[in-house]
Amino acid sequence: MDIGTIIVFVIIITVSLYGVTIYNGLVALKHSVSKAWSNIDVLLKQRHDELPKLVEVCKEYMGYEQDTLARVISARSAVFAAREAGDVAKLGAAETLLRQGLGNLFALAESYPELKANENFQHLRQRITALENTIADRREFYNESVNLNNVRIEQFPDVVIARWFSFAECDLLEFSAEEVQDVSLKSLFS
């Protein structure tokens, strides 16, 4: 073998190894996004299971607040449908409605001292609030994973491997502008 053949052989091996490294990095990012989504999905399922219990406890005390309870159940169904479909955009919108409904429900519960004192209500409220906080944390992790994935598949030379192996962009889990604003408690009681 002459030196030219050896140099070509070394270049081919180097480029191949670099391509494999890029591919493996993209696969790791794709799985990181899937893992982050799975973490959110587990929490959404847990909250989905807790909400009917909360509504049932509230129904005993809040006979005149059926509209608020119905909105929470409707939003719960929308979250479930979006989660099952894997539609991140619809999930964000449904989450906004659910969080607003829960905020209204908890604010209205303040008008019912017997409900506020109910041990089941207190437990469910704490459990759902903890789940909400954890979902917010996991959403941040998911969005960071999505961002890393999306940036990486657009960067050169990764974009070549990404297109060749059909790596796709992922959607961020975003909530509406109303979700990130401060809630006006005055409007809830007017």
Give the C-alpha separation, 167 to 170, whole Å. 10
pLDDT at 62 over 60: yes
pLDDT at 61 over 90: no
The pLDDT of residue 64: 63
At 147-176, the pLDDT tens digits run 999 999 999 999 999 999 999 999 988 876
The pLDDT of residue 77: 92
Dihedral sign for Cα 175, 177, 180, 183, please. Answer: negative
The pLDDT of residue 188: 38
Cβ atoms of 47 and 131 within 8 Å: the answer is yes
Residues of the domain holding 60: 3-188
Domain count, the chain: 1
At 91-103, the pLDDT tens digits run 888 888 898 888 8
DSSP string, 139-158: HHHHHHHHHHHHHHTTSTTH
Task: Enumerate residues 6+ apart whose C-beta is below 8 A from 57.
Answer: 115, 118, 120, 121, 124
At 15-31, the pLDDT tens digits run 999 999 999 999 999 99
Give the C-alpha separation, 97 to 72, whole Å. 8
Least confident of 23-32, 38-47, 100-109, 134-143: 100-109
The pLDDT of residue 146: 95
The pLDDT of residue 42: 92
**How far is the CA of 186 from the CAs of 84, 104, 183, in angstroms?**
35, 11, 9
Q: Which amino acid is at 70?
A: A
Q: What is the CATH number of the domain that holds 184?
A: 1.20.1440.20
Tell me which residue of 136, 135, 109 sits closest to 120, measured CA to CA: 109
Confidence of residue 184 (pLDDT cuts 50, 70, 90): very low
First to last CA, the chain: 88
Using only C-alpha atoms, what is the Rg of the chain? 24
Confidence of residue 116 (pLDDT cuts 50, 70, 90): confident
The pLDDT of residue 177: 54
Is the pTM for the entire model greater than 0.85?
no
